[in-house]
């Protein structure tokens, strides 16, 4: 049973098929969707949405087959389908749900292209012969680009690598077409608590009779349980299963959840889930600590040197202030010897002529030179005046006769 809502806001429950949803495109009625905290669709409408997205992705008029990857499909194509096809039939949120829907469309589009290639392409025929044998609903020029891309050396190398990786997947799940997110939601509603990743692994790899789907699944489950005794769930999965795939997280579903959402960013995930590599990291950290200790020791020496210089500067500054006071009084008293002595004391403790105090000292010497010159000229003037007075007093007085 799926829930739908009409333009008056009335909600009704009804059995719908994917074709029924396409028939509702011009109707104001929309399908209500339910989403979990990870923005994955759950509930009865989730299977209807999944089937609808599969049909949309299979229409290569929406997303051309000639694009090499989903990321190369123009954004205008994706946005057009989202607004005019998805949102006209389902009640979805632009920000929270669009990422999941486009991700699901991309995966389904990729899978459909692979099935289409396997159906219409023949490796025993030439490229040109395969181009002629294009699907009736795909333009020949689009099919030609797609065939040449699939038969390129680079693409074939990637395809062989992916096939080898799929051959290693010997543990099938037992959920059929039901998504892991939907199964988890059903269990949580039934039991009233949140199921962990480890619990969902057990649920999704057991048969209805309670036995595991194969021996490999049972062994992996036992390894997880052993690791969980001493490690966190994320670290246990890393130890037993290896690194998470960039696009999904084990036990959380193929679409909608990235490793950064569950175990943080890649840098934090690596440091938190690789404790078996921690010895090497600890050694590196210890080396860094030793280096920092050496730097701290050097800083301590510098601090001691600075303290010594500060003490000396304070002591010399006292001498400078005292000498400056003597200089001021000496200049006022025009005591040449005391002034020169004070200036010498200042110069000796100023740190050289290029220091600020040294520059002041140089200026003082110049000023004192000017004062001393004026003092000398004044004294000479006084001496000449005194001599002239003496000459006047010693000269005889001559009285002229009438």
State pLDDT tens for residues 341-391: 555 555 555 544 444 445 455 555 556 565 666 666 666 666 665 666 565
Whether 399 is covered by a domain: the verdict is no
Whether 66 is covered by a domain: the verdict is yes
In terms of domains, do 216 and 323 share one? no
Of 26 and 56, the structure prediction assigns the larger pLDDT to 56
What is the DSSP-derived secondary structure letter of residue 232? -
- State the pLDDT confidence band at 73, using cuts at 50, 70 and 90: very high
Would you state the pLDDT for residue 396?
A: 47
In terms of domains, do 269 and 296 share one? no
The highest-confidence range among 70-84, 176-190, 300-314, 376-390, by mean pLDDT, is 70-84
Phi-psi region of 244 (alpha: psi -120 to 50; beta: other; left: phi over 0): beta
Instruction: State the DSSP H helix or E strand holding residue 34, giving kind and residue range, or none if neither.
Output: strand 34-35
In terms of domains, do 248 and 299 share one? no
Lowest pLDDT segment from 108-122, 303-317, 347-361: 347-361
Whether 342 is covered by a domain: the verdict is yes
Of 2 and 348, the structure prediction assigns the larger pLDDT to 2
In terms of domains, do 102 and 12 share one? yes
- On the CB side of 39, how many CA atoms lie within 13 Å of its CA? 18
Longest CA–CA span in the chain (Å) reads 167
Whether 250 is covered by a domain: the verdict is yes
Backbone angles phi, psi at 9, to 5 degrees: 90, 10
Span 220-224, average pLDDT: 89
Of 322 and 146, the structure prediction assigns the larger pLDDT to 146
* Among 113, 117, 106, 45, CA closest to 81: 106
Whether 309 is covered by a domain: the verdict is yes
pTM here? 0.61
Would you state the pLDDT for residue 235?
A: 85
Q: Is the Cα dihedral 246, 248, 251, 256 positive or negative?
A: positive
Span 261-266, average pLDDT: 54
* Among 229, 72, 87, 65, CA closest to 134: 65
* Among 8, 150, 137, CA closest to 60: 137
Output 199-202 pairs: Cβ under 8 A, ≥24 positions apart. Answer: 200/251, 200/252, 201/250, 201/251
> Is the distance from CB of 34 to CB of 43 less than 8 angstroms?
yes
Whether 54 is covered by a domain: the verdict is yes
In terms of domains, do 258 and 351 share one? no
Q: Does the structure show a pLDDT above 50 at 270?
A: no
Quote the CA–CA distance of 321 and 317 in Å, as a whole number: 6
Quote the CA–CA distance of 42 and 185 in Å, as a whole number: 7
Lowest pLDDT segment from 16-25, 238-247, 257-266, 325-334: 325-334
Instruction: Using alpha carbons only, give the angle 178, 184, 187 rounded to the nearest 5 degrees.
Output: 110
Would you state the pLDDT for residue 402?
A: 38
Would you state the pLDDT for residue 356?
A: 47
In terms of domains, do 56 and 90 share one? yes
DSSP for 48-95, written as a single string: HHHHHHHHHHH-TTTS-TT-SSGGGS-HHHHHHHIIIIITTTEE--HH
Which residues have CB under 8 Å from 99's CB, separation 6+? 39, 256
Span 166-172, average pLDDT: 80
Number of domains in the chain: 3
Span 222-248, average pLDDT: 82
- State the pLDDT confidence band at 1, using cuts at 50, 70 and 90: confident
Which residues have CB under 8 Å from 233's CB, separation 6+? 196, 197, 198
In terms of domains, do 342 and 378 share one? yes
Would you state the pLDDT for residue 38?
A: 86
Q: Over the chain, what is the mean pLDDT?
A: 77
- State the pLDDT confidence band at 41, using cuts at 50, 70 and 90: very high
* Domain ranges, residue 309: 292-390
Whether 83 is covered by a domain: the verdict is yes
Span 239-250, average pLDDT: 75
State which of 222, 242, 273 marks the end of a domain. 273
DSSP for 253-289, written as a single string: BSSS--HHHHH-SHHHHHHHH-GGGHHHHHHHHHHHH
pLDDT digits (tens, 9 = 90+) for 171-188: 888 888 888 889 999 999
Instruction: State the DSSP H helix or E strand holding residue 42, giving kind and residue range, or none if neither.
Output: strand 41-42
Would you state the pLDDT for residue 256?
A: 64
Q: Does the structure show a pLDDT above 70 at 152?
A: yes
Pairing assessment for the beta strands 34-35 and 41-42 based on DSSP bridges: antiparallel
Specify the 3-state DSSP secondary structure of 238: helix
- State the pLDDT confidence band at 316, using cuts at 50, 70 and 90: low
In terms of domains, do 261 and 308 share one? no
Span 36-55, average pLDDT: 92
Would you state the pLDDT for residue 381?
A: 63
pLDDT digits (tens, 9 = 90+) for 271-288: 433 444 444 555 566 666
In terms of domains, do 304 and 352 share one? yes
- State the pLDDT confidence band at 8, using cuts at 50, 70 and 90: confident
- State the pLDDT confidence band at 70, using cuts at 50, 70 and 90: very high
Whether 132 is covered by a domain: the verdict is no
Token look-up 């003597």 returns: 326
Quote the CA–CA distance of 136 and 225 in Å, as a whole number: 53
């Amino acid at each position: 049973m799926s829930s739908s809502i009409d333009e008056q806001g009335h909600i009704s429950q009804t059995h719908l098929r994917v074709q029924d949803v396409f028939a509702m495109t011009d109707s104001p009625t929309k399908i209500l969707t339910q989403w979990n905290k990870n923005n994955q669709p759950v509930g009865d409408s989730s299977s209807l949405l999944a089937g609808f997205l599969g049909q949309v992705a299979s229409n290569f008029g929406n997303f051309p087959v000639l694009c090499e990857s989903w990321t190369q499909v123009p954004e205008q194509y994706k946005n057009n389908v989202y607004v005019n096809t998805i949102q006209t039939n389902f009640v979805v949120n632009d920000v929270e749900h669009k990422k999941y829907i486009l991700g699901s469309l991309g995966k389904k589009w990729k899978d459909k292209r692979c099935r289409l290639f396997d159906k219409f392409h023949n490796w025993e025929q030439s490229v040109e012969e395969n181009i002629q044998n294009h699907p009736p609903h795909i333009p020949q020029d689009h099919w030609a680009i797609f065939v040449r891309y699939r038969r390129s050396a680079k693409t074939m190398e990637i395809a062989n690598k992916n096939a080898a990786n799929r051959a290693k997947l010997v543990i099938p799940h037992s959920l059929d077409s039901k998504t892991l997110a939907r199964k988890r939601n059903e269990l949580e509603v039934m039991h009233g608590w949140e199921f962990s990743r480890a619990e969902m692994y057990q649920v999704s790899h057991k048969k209805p009779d309670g036995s595991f789907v194969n021996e490999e699944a049972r062994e992996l489950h036992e390894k997880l349980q052993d690791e969980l005794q001493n490690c966190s769930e994320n670290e246990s999965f890393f130890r037993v299963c290896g690194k998470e795939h960039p696009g999904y997280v084990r036990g959380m579903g193929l679409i909608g959840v990235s490793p950064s959402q569950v175990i943080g960013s890649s840098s934090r995930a690596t440091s938190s889930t690789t404790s078996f590599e921690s010895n090497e990291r600890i050694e590196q950290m210890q080396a860094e600590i030793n280096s920092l200790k050496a730097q701290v020791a050097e800083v301590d020496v510098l601090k001691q040197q600075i303290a010594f210089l500060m003490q000396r500067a304070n002591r010399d500054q006292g001498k400078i202030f005292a000498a400056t006071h003597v200089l001021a009084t000496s200049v006022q008293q025009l005591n040449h010897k005391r002034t020169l002595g004070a200036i010498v004391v200042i110069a000796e403790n100023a740190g050289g002529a290029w220091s600020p105090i040294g520059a002041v000292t140089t200026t003082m010497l110049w000023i004192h030179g000017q004062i001393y010159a004026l003092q000398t000229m004044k004294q000479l003037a006084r001496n000449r005046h005194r001599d002239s007075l003496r000459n006047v007093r010693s000269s005889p007085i001559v009285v002229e006769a009438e």
